[in-house]
Amino acid sequence: MNVASHSGTNIAVLLAILALSAVTMVWLFWHFPIITSVVTLAILAALGVSARLARLIETDMPDMQGGKQTF
């Protein structure tokens, strides 16, 4: 019973955080549409670049167990 209530609390907190984030983004976009769009695109571009860099770094690292590189 305790695990189920803890899980429900986690879901409620997650939904509250997502709702607060969405409301904040809509408010910012409503009041500052150009700046919000530019910052959002910059953040998405930074996430895309970091994902590509992580993929590059991951494939260049040798496997620690046998010293062989896996692809």
Residue 67 domain-assigned?
no
Please indicate, yes or no, if residue 37 is contained in any of the structural domains.
yes
Q: Which residues, 6+ apart, have CB-to-CB distance to 38 below 8 Å?
A: none
Residue 68 domain-assigned (yes or no): no
Instruction: State pLDDT tens for residues 1-52.
Output: 566 678 889 999 999 999 999 999 999 999 999 999 999 999 999 999 999 9
Residue 70 lies inside a defined structural domain of this protein:
no
Per the rule left: phi > 0, alpha: psi between -120 and 50, beta: everything else, 67 is left
- Its pTM surpasses 0.85: no
User: How far is the CA of 8 from the CAs of 15, 16, 19, in angstroms?
Assistant: 11, 12, 16
- Evaluated on CA atoms 60, 62, 63, 68, the torsion sign reads positive
Split into its structural domains, the chain has a count of 1
The answer as to whether 10 is a domain residue is yes
Domain that holds residue 18: 2-60
Name the token pair of 71.
């692809």
Higher pLDDT, 71 or 16: 16
69 falls within a domain: no
